[in-house]
Amino acid sequence: MLATTRDDRWSKLRRRSPTLPAVEALGREDQSTAREREPSRVETSADPRAVSGVAAVDPRSVPIPVRLNLFLCALVLVLAVALLWAASHATTGWATLFSAVAFSYVMLTDYALLHEATHASLHMDPRWNRFLGRMLGALFPVPFTMILTTHRGHHERNRTDAEMFDLYYARDSCFLKCVQWYGILTGFFWPFVPVGAVLASVFPRALRARMFRERNDTKHLLGDLQGELLRTIRLETAGIALFFVLLFALLDLRAGSVLLCYACFSLNWSTRQYIGHAFTKRDVVHGAWNLAHGRAMSAVLLHGEWDLNHHRHPEVPWIHIPRLACEPESRRGYVRQYWRQWLGPRLTEERSPRATPSLTPAHLQPIRSESKP
C-alpha cells in the first residue's frame, strides 16, 4: 500500500515536471529551443525553470542524507556552544580571539544546514525538519519561520530590483548604494537579522513604517511577514531568548566574549552573502554563479558555492549539488569573485526581471527516501 501511494504521488508530480533519468544529465536541454521561447512566458510560469532550459530532478535520485545531516547538526551545536564557553573562559585575549574566529566558521556550517531546512532538505520528516531548523536558527539567532519566509522570497525575487545590491540605476544615489554595498561586505548585514526578528516580534508596526515601505529591498522582504507568520515568529523569538538565558546561566558566559564571537561571525557570514550573485545576469533562475573553492571551505559551506546549480534546482540536497550539470563558463574562482565585489556597485540600464513563484520544496517531501552518509 505504501509503495502504491508513493508511486501515485510521483506520477502526479511527474505530470507537472519533466525529469531526466540520471543526475549527471540534469540541467541539460537544447539551448536553442530555450532561447526561442517568448520572455512573457517566463514572467507568468508557475515554475520559472520550465522555460529556462532547466529540467526538473527526480527526487528519488537525490535523496536527503538524513543521518549525515543529523550528525552535522549535533556537531555544529556542540562545537558552537563549546566555543562560546571557551571564549568566555579563556585566560588570554589571543585565546578568546581564536575561539571567536573558530566560532565564525562553525556558524557558516550552521547557516548552511539552516538553509537546507528552509528547502525541506534537512530531514525527510517535515516535523523533524522544522525542529532542527528552529534549533539551528536559535544559534544564529533567527526565528526559523522568518528565514523560511524571507529565503523563499529570495528565490522568487532573485536579481529583481528588490535584490539589486551590486547595481544601481542613473536615478539612484550612488553614494547610498555604496554605503549599502560596503556595509554588506564589512559585516553589517547580519545584525539586521536578529534586530528584524525582535522588531517583528515586539514592534510589528515598525515593519510598516514609511522608511521600509518605500525601499525596494525592504518592502517585499518585510511585506511577506504578516498575520499568522508574525505570531509564530514571536513564539520562536521568545524561545531563542530563553535559549540564550539558559546558556548564560548554565555556562557562565561573558557578554563581551559572546559579542566578539558573533562579531567575527557577522563579518565572516555577511561578506559572503552576495558573492554568488554579484554581477550575474538579471534572471530569477540563472542569476547566480557556480564558484570554484577549496575542498576544506567547500565542506564548511556544504557546497554553498554552487549557487547557480542551487537556484536551478532548489529542491536538491546539498550533497548532490556538485553533481548537477553546469556550463564551464558558469564557474569562477571564489577568491577572485570575492575581491571583485570590492570594486563597488555598477551602473546599469538592464531592466529588472519579474518575480516568479518558486518551486515549493514541500511538494517533494512525501517521496523522499533516506540515504546513507
pLDDT at position 295? 94
List all residues 6 or more positions away from 326 whose beta carbon is below 8 Å from its beta carbon.
27, 290, 306, 308, 309
- Cβ 47 vs Cβ 363: under 8 Å: no
For 105-168, give the DSSP string. Answer: HHHHHHHHHHHHHHTT-S-SSHHHHHHHHHHHHHHTT--HHHHHHHHHHHHHHTTSGGG--SEE
Residue 207 has pLDDT above 60, yes or no: yes
pLDDT at 36: 35
Q: Is the dihedral of CA 212, 214, 215, 217 positive or negative?
A: positive
pLDDT class of 220 with cuts at 50, 70, 90:
low
The CA-atom distances, in angstroms, between 262 and each of 43, 99, 108, 151 are 40, 11, 12, 21
Q: How far is CA 337 from CA 274, 280, 328, in A?
A: 10, 11, 16
Query: 72-130 pLDDT, tens per residue?
Result: 999 999 999 999 999 999 999 999 999 999 999 999 999 999 999 999 999 999 999 99
All residues at 6 or more sequence positions from 153 whose CB lies less than 8 Å from its CB, including other chains: 220, 221, 224
Residue range 193-209: mean pLDDT, rounded = 80
Grid look-up 549535533 returns 74
Residue 240 confidence (pLDDT): 97
Per-residue pLDDT for 156 more than 70?
Answer: yes
Number of neighbours of residue 250 by Cβ within 10 angstroms? 10
pLDDT (tens digit per residue) in 235-294: 999 999 999 999 999 999 999 999 999 999 999 999 999 999 999 999 999 999 999 999
Give the C-alpha separation, 298 to 302, whole Å: 6
Average pLDDT over residues 3-19: 37
- Comparing CA positions, the residue from 246, 258, 253 lying closest to residue 99 is 258
